[in-house]
Structure 1
Amino acid sequence: MIRSWVRPLLGVVVAVAVVGAAASLIGRSARPAPSTTIGGSFVAPVAPTVPAVAATTQEPRPAATVAGATRPGTRPPVVDHGPRTGNRVALTFDADMTDGMLGNLRAGRVRSYANLRILDVLEREQVAATFFLTGKWVQRYPEITRRIAGNPRFELANHTYGHLAYTGDCYDLPRLPARGMTDDAAKTFEVIAPYGGRQTRYFRFPGLCHDAAALEALAPLGVTVVDGDVVSGDPFATAWEPLVRAVLDNVRPGSVVIMHVTEANARMTDEALPYILAGLRERGLVPAPLSEVLAGA
C-alpha cells in the first residue's frame, strides 16, 4: 500500500489525472533573480554559461544492459531510495498522459504537456535524470522521446500506458481492471523499447498506489517498482520557491526525487530546477541515473 507520509503530498499530483489536466495557466512569472535565499540558506542558480549539449536527432542504439530487471515470476521489489551513503541522488520526472489530457491538446485548451525547458536545463548543465514515461505520452511526443533516449545521461522507465490506477483507492483515479494490469505495463515497455537509449525495467505506479494484487500482476515482467522519498509537489504550483524548499529540505544521499515534465499542469518545474541543482551542489549532492543511485539498495 502507499505509504501514509507521502499520501498528502501526492494528492495534488494525482489530481492532474483526475481532472484530465486543467488548461494551461497564462502568463509565466518572471525569472527569479540571480540569487536568493531558500529556507534560510543562500542558493544561487546554475550559471547559464555552461556549454550546451546539442540534442541528437539520430536513433539511439538499444542499451547493452537493462537496469532494474528482476527475475520474472517473482513479486517485484519496491524501493523508495538508494543507500544513504555517498553523495548521489536521482532526479526523476514523470510524463503523465491521460485521455483527458489528450482531449485538452486536441481541443486547444492546452498548448503542451512536454516541458522542453526542463530538457534544455538538464542538457545544458549535463545533468543525469530518469524519465518515467506513460505510453500515451511517448506516442504523443515521439520526437521528444527520441531526444530523451538520445542523451546518454538520461534513463527511460515505465509509468503505465494511460495513467490509470492499479488499486481501488487512488485519489479517485479511474481504475484499471485487474486482468489488464500486466498487459498495460507490458504495452508501455513495448512502446518505449524502439527508442533505445538507456532502457530500464523500473516501473512507477500512478500516485504510488499499489497493493499485493498490483505487485503480483507485474511479477511476469521482471520489474523493480520505484516510489520515491522526496515529492516536489510541482503539479499546479503557482510559485517556484515551494518546490525548491520541498526538495532541498528533504533530500539526502540516495534520495529519489519526484518531479514532472508535463508543462501545462507543472509549469513551475523548470523555474525551480536551476535552484534545486544549485542547492544540491551546495549540499555536496550529485544527480546520477536512477540505476546508479539504487545500486546496492
Structure 2
Amino acid sequence: MNKFYVLNGKRVKQLTLILVVSFFTAWFLYMENIVQVPVFSSKDGPKAVYKGEKGIALTFNIGWGDEKAEPILDILKKEKVTATFFLAGSWAERHPDLIARISKEGHEIGILGYDYVDYSEVKEEKINQDVSKAKTAFEKLKVENISLFRAPTGHFDQNALTITNRYKYTLVHWSIDSKDWTNPGTDQIIKNVSPAKKGDIVLLHASDSAKQTANALPEVIDNLKGKNLKFVTVTEMLSNADSSSKEVN
C-alpha cells in the first residue's frame, strides 16, 4: 500500500534550508580535513591563512612594551627555534635595536598594523591609512621583503582582506591560541598550546601585557619538540602549498 505525505510550501522551504546548511557545514568540515592550507577569504578574492601544511609556526605579536621581547628572544636563541614576529609599526619605530636582533637571529618579521585598530569596526579609509603607515615605518627601518600581515586585534573583514592584498601582503590568522595575553597562568598557557600539531600556527605575545609567556615558553617548545615537530616561519610553512577557502562575511 502506497502512502503519500503532503508538505506545505513553508515546510518545504524550511527543510530545504536545513538540508542546504547541513550540506555546506559537512562540506566545510570535510575540506578542512583534506586541504593543506585552510584559509579565510572573500568570495573569489584574497585569502587569510590560519593553518599550513608543514612544521609548526610560533608567532609572536608585539604591539607595545619594552621588557618582554628580549627574554623571549633569549629563549628562542637558546632552544634554537625560529619564529615569526608580527610587529606594530609604532612599536618598531621605537625599537630599531630589537628589529635588528630579530632579523639577525633568523626570525621572520610580519606587520601588525601601525596602531591598535580593530579592522572589523572601522571604515576602509582607516584600514588603508593604518596599513600604509605601517608599511612606511618598516621601509624607513630598512626591513625588506615583508610579505605577511596580521590584523592588530585579530579581527578583520572583506575590506581588510582586499586592502592588505592590494599591498601584496598575505593576511595571517592562527589555528592555536595560547591566550597568553589574558595571563591565565603558566600551566594554562602550556595546556592551551598542547593540542598543536603539524601545520598549526600558534598565537603568542611578546608585548609587556603578556607577563607569563616567557615562563611558559620553554615547556611549550619542549612539548612540541616531543611531537617531532619542526619549527618553521610562516612563509616556510606556506611555501608550495595548496589552499582552500572559507568565505568571510
Residue of 194, 201, 205 corresponding to 1:256: 201
- Note closer, same or farther for the CA distance 1:223–1:141 as it changes in structure 2 (3 Å cut): same
Which residue does 2:158 correspond to in 1? 212
Which residue does 1:285 correspond to in 2? 229
CA distance in structure 2 between the aligned counterparts of 1:126 and 1:193, rounded to whole angstroms: 28
State the TM-score, normalizing by the size of structure 1. 0.62
Which residue does 1:236 correspond to in 2? 182
Contact 2:164–2:170 (Cα < 8 Å) also in 1? no
Contact 2:164–2:171 (Cα < 8 Å) also in 1? no
Does structure 1 residue 90 correspond to structure 2 residue 57?
yes
- Note closer, same or farther for the CA distance 1:138–1:93 as it changes in structure 2 (3 Å cut): same
Contact 2:83–2:232 (Cα < 8 Å) also in 1? yes
Give the Å deviation of 1:158.
Answer: 0.8
Moved more, 179-188 or 220-229: 179-188
Give the Å deviation of 1:290.
Answer: 1.1
CA distance in structure 1 between the aligned counterparts of 2:229 and 2:172, rounded to whole angstroms: 20
- Structure 1 segments, 4+ long, off by >6 Å, are none
Which residue does 1:79 correspond to in 2? 49
CA distance in structure 2 between the aligned counterparts of 1:277 and 1:243, rounded to whole angstroms: 12
Which residue does 1:127 correspond to in 2? 81
Contact 1:254–1:294 (Cα < 8 Å) also in 2? no
CA distance in structure 2 between the aligned counterparts of 1:181 and 1:206, rounded to whole angstroms: 11
Amino acid in structure 2 at the alignment position of 1:137: W
Which one has the bigger helix percentage?
2
- Note closer, same or farther for the CA distance 1:124–1:193 as it changes in structure 2 (3 Å cut): farther
Residue correspondence of structure 1 range 7-156 to structure 2 within 5 A: 75-83=45-53, 86=54, 88-97=55-64, 112=66, 114-152=68-106, 154-156=107-109
Residue of 157, 174, 177 corresponding to 2:110: 157
When Rg is computed on C-alpha atoms for both structures, the one with the higher figure is 2
Amino acid in structure 2 at the alignment position of 1:132: F
Amino acid in structure 1 at the alignment position of 2:218: P
Contact 2:58–2:203 (Cα < 8 Å) also in 1? yes
Give the Å deviation of 1:197.
Answer: 6.0
Contact 2:89–2:137 (Cα < 8 Å) also in 1? yes
How many residues were matched structurally? 198
- Note closer, same or farther for the CA distance 1:137–1:222 as it changes in structure 2 (3 Å cut): same
CA distance in structure 2 between the aligned counterparts of 1:235 and 1:278, rounded to whole angstroms: 21
- Structure 1: runs of 5 or more not aligned: 1-73, 102-111, 169-174
CA distance in structure 2 between the aligned counterparts of 1:279 and 1:258, rounded to whole angstroms: 16
* Aligned-pair identity (%): 26
